[in-house]
Amino acid sequence: MSSNIRIEKRCLQCGKIFTAKTTVTKYCGADCSKRGYKARKRAEKIKLTEVEAKQTIQQPITELQAKEFLSIEEVCKLLGVSRTTIWRMTKSGQIQTANFGRRKLISKKSISELFVFPLEEEQSNEVDITFDIDECYYINEILSLYQISEKALYDLIKRFKIPKIKVGKFVYVPKEKIDSLLK
């Protein structure tokens, strides 16, 4: 229904005074209307993240330990590390995430795998070689470089008795051995 109403209004987005044709018009035109919509959506998203973070803070740690899949906030709380650290680790592929709608989830298993590497059984390889870390790949580096699965890689390491060393959370293997097998 078109009306003859003419109201002076201030655009909620750009602040310009414009003549509105209805009492509910908030924006001076389509552009501001679009920008306003986006800003509202952004605010909603931020609010959602804040709510999730708040819920996580109040959540008892035992509840987190029992969960199979965790949000980034929950992983931060569980491990006591910052959000930035977790983001960096998901970006570098050290931690795998899956997107469920607008939520990113991390499987507990992928976290545990950071701590448990199948090292013990192979320590009998008795490697005496000295490791020069600069001449080594770490596991995830090989996975992305040669596009093979973690399982396939560990099978290779085992089969060809490739020496490896664990430094912190990372397992390193000599570049030379890997390159000669996979190149």
Binding residues for Zn ion (CB under 5 A): 11, 13-14, 28, 32
Provide, rounded to whole angstroms, the least separation between the CB of residue 38 and Zn ion. 13
Q: How far is the CB of 19 from Zn ion (least distance, A)?
A: 12
Nearer residue to Zn ion within complex by CB, 23 or 84: 23
Q: Which is nearer to Zn ion, 12 or 105 (CB)?
A: 12
**Nearest distance, CB of residue 47 and Zn ion, angstroms:** 24
Residue (18 or 170) nearer to Zn ion, CB: 18
HEC letters along the chain: CCCCCCEEEECCCCCCEEEECCCCCCCCCHHHHHHHHHHHHHHHHHHHHHHHHHHHHHCCHHHHHHCCEEEHHHHHHHHCCCHHHHHHHHHCCCCCEEEECCEEEEEHHHHHHHHCCCCHHHHHHCCCCCCCHHHEEEHHHHHHHHCCCHHHHHHHHHHCCCCCEEECCEEEEEHHHHHHHHC
Nearer to Zn ion, 11 or 153 (CB): 11
CB of residue 40 vs Zn ion: minimum separation in angstroms?
Answer: 15
Report in angstroms the alpha-carbon separations of 126 from 61, 122, 129.
Answer: 40, 8, 9
In the complex, the smallest distance separating the C-beta of residue 17 from Zn ion, rounded to whole angstroms, is 10
Q: Which is nearer to Zn ion, 35 or 67 (CB)?
A: 35
